[in-house]
Amino acid sequence: MRIGIEMNGVLRDTILKFRQLYEKFNIDLMPELEEGEEPVFKYEVIEPIDSLDLLNHFTFPSKDEFYSFMYEEHPMEIFGHSPSVEMSTMNDLNGFYYEMRDNHDISIVSDEIGKSKPASLFFLSKFGCLIEKVKFYSESTIDSMWNEIDVLLTANPNLLLNCPKDKKVIKFETEYNKQVDSELSITTLKELKNKLEEIL
């Protein structure tokens, strides 16, 4: 079986790191205003962060400024230096890989553009990931990702909702995918092996 494991939300807590940088550079550094003076633009975090559409939760003057912040100004900090989702994420992943690699083809998949690709490879190397195969995809190449796997572990609501009929998805439960029903779900990587045995 070909098993794909999504990086964002399963291995890497990208949203937490994005929030830290957003608050540091946009909120904490906002100039102090005179009494009665209105800010030119108000940066703010809109809670709860219950979707992957970050523009719904972090205000920017324009989409261009959002993309610039994420992919031009801070891609290494956001994608390379994000924390892992769990303290033991990479140990659990490597343990799963050792146990399953003889009978299954295991790969990491991730929706990346531009400078987030090398930053993501840095994240995997920094945490000591042993899986050889990494597949980057985008909206235009998502079909090629699905073509290379049979089962996908993901936290992404779009992938959970738009899984091809001949594939299986396992939901990694997060705050932003609670509203998505899934036949198969886990809350920690330690559960992945048993969940796959249900499919097999």
Among 59, 80, 101, which residue terminates a domain? 80
Instruction: Let me know whether 57 and 118 are in one domain.
Output: no
Count of other CB atoms within 10 angstroms of residue 129: 19
Residue linked to tokens 């399953």: 100
Residue 36 has pLDDT above 80, yes or no: no
Question: pTM higher than 0.85, yes or no?
Answer: yes
Q: Is 66 in contact with 110 (CB distance < 8 Å)?
A: no
Task: Look at residue 33 in the predicted model and tell me its pLDDT.
Answer: 67
CATH number at residue 109: 3.40.50.1000
Total domains, the chain: 2
Q: What is the DSSP string of 39-62?
A: PSS---B-S---SS-GGGTB--S-
Strands of 43-200 (E only): list them.
105-111, 133-137, 151-154, 168-172, 185-186
The tens digit of pLDDT for each residue in 67-86 reads: 999 999 999 999 999 999 99
Share of the chain above pLDDT 70, in %: 98
Residues 45 and 109 both lie in one domain? no
Task: Indicate if 19 and 76 belong to the same structural domain.
Answer: yes
Query: What would the pLDDT profile of 168-199 be if each residue is shown by its tens digit?
Result: 999 999 999 999 999 999 999 999 999 999 88
> Do 26 and 39 fall within a single domain?
yes
7/27 same-domain check: no
Domain enclosing residue 66, as ranges? 14-80
- Tell me, yes or no, whether 40 and 121 share the same domain: no
Using the predicted structure, report yes or no on whether residue 12 has a pLDDT greater than 80. yes
Assess contact for 55 and 63: CB atoms under 8 A. Answer: yes
Residues 140 and 75 in one domain: no
Q: What pLDDT digit, counting tens, does each position of 141-169 carry? A: 999 999 999 999 999 999 999 999 999 99
